[in-house]
Amino acid sequence: AKAAGRNAIRFFDPAMQIALEENAAILAELHQAIDNGELELYYQIQIDEIKGIQGAEVLLRWFHPIRGMVSPIDFIPLAEESGLIIPIGRWVLESACHQLTEWENIPGRENWQISVNVSALQFQQENFVEIVEEIIVLHNINPRGLKLELTESIVLENIDIIIEKMHQLNQLGIDFSMDDFGTGYSSLSCLKRLPLKQLKIDQSFVRDITTDPDDAAIVQTIINLSNSLKYDVIAEGVETQEQRQFLFKNGCSQYQGYLFSRPVPITEFEQLISVLSAD
Ligand code: C2E
Ligand code: CA
Ligand code: CA
Ligand code: CA
């Protein structure tokens, strides 16, 4: 009775009720967003201090006719809860592959990769490997150009199934990066079994790297772990030269962050590249 009482109070909380109705409205509109052409991919450069441009991560943007730009922070969780992340995620993969076909013809970009965020629910689809394969064939791209960013939440699925899927995708030539590394609850003994190419240091650790000794120690540990386990390592949320220098000194030479560029539309991304290439 006590629990029911608590639920009742929660249910009639007016603020909560408004939030729920708002979410329901956004969800209904999100259903239409793909067909209405309201989704767009923004590109954020990934750069290596020594090897130069590595490619870009694609980040989803939703341009709602009335609400304006809705942040993925606000709609990705809704898309995940409702299962809409499946068609949306497919659209993201297809758009990224379409972009890869353009890059493949440009000299100097042969080794560039596009990093695509894949949500746990999307990865857990039984036929995820077949879907990716289908998209690759459809767009006739070199699968080496594709990197999939997974989060630790994928390990909620049976670990053997995850490993099997990752191996199958690896065999196609696709790399994996572990996004937001260190923020999840999965154990290292679990993670070490995954065929990963890269660890991505979460921006929450990078932010105060030069002032907070704990964050500095965490980042150094992730870099050392990457080196020992032979993973590449990239830091996200790099905003200052001081952060970049700290990372480089400690053995991480790949960065992504506002210091280099915010995520931008493809036309702006191309401008950025031509400026960087002219230097
Ligand atoms: P994420 O994958 O961890 O992406 C990094 C987020 O940090 C992005 O936010 C990016 O714009 C932001 N960021 C990049 N550099 C900096 C920096 O220097 N400083 C700061 N403060 N922030 C920086 P965004 O674009 O709002 O995306 C938020 C999250 O939404 C992503 O976090 C990802 O989890 C999710 N997301 C975005 N696009 C997709 C998608 O296509 N599919 C899925 N499943 N999730 C997506
Ligand atoms: Ca990411
Ligand atoms: Ca991330
Ligand atoms: Ca993050």
Residue labelled with tokens 């590109």:
43
Give residues (CB < 6 A) around ligand 1: 44, 59-60, 71-73, 76, 89, 92, 117, 119, 179-180, 203, 236-239, 257-258, 263
The pLDDT of residue 248 is above 80:
yes
216-232 confidence digits (pLDDT tens): 999 999 999 999 999 99
Q: Extract the tokens encoding 159.
A: 């670990």
| CB contact set of 159 (below 8 Å; sequence gap of 6+) | 190, 193
Pocket test for ligand 1, best of 34, 38, 59, 243 (most atoms within 8 A of CB): 59
Nearest Cα residue to 122 out of 160, 91, 159, 168: 91
For ligand 1, atom 4: residue with the closest CA: 59
Output the pTM of the full model.
0.93
Mean pLDDT across 173-199: 91
- Assess whether pLDDT exceeds 50 at residue 3: no
Given a cut of 60, whether residue 1 has pLDDT beyond it is no
Q: Give the closest residue to 180 by CA, choosing from 198, 159, 157.
A: 198
Q: How far is CA 213 from the centre of its chain?
A: 27
Q: What is the pLDDT of residue 20?
A: 75
What is the end-to-end Cα distance of the chain in Å, rounded? 70
Secondary structure (DSSP) of the chain: -HHHHHHHHHHH-HHHHHHHHHHHHHHHHHHHHTTTT-EEEEEEEEEETTTEEEEEEEEEEEEETTTEEEPHHHHHHHHHHHTTHHHHHHHHHHHHHHHHHHHTTSTT-TT-EEEEE--HHHHTSTTHHHHHHHHHHHHT--GGGEEEEE-GGGGGS-HHHHHHHHHHHHHHT-EEEEEEETSS---HHHHTTS--SEEEE-HHHHTTTTT-HHHHHHHHHHHHHHHHHT-EEEES---SHHHHHHHHHTT--EE-STTT---B-HHHHHHHHHHHHH-
Distance 19 CA to ligand 2 centre (A): 27
Range in 30-34, 98-102, 220-224, 239-243 the model is least confident about = 30-34
d(CA 155, CA 187): 10
Residue 18 confidence (pLDDT) above 90: no
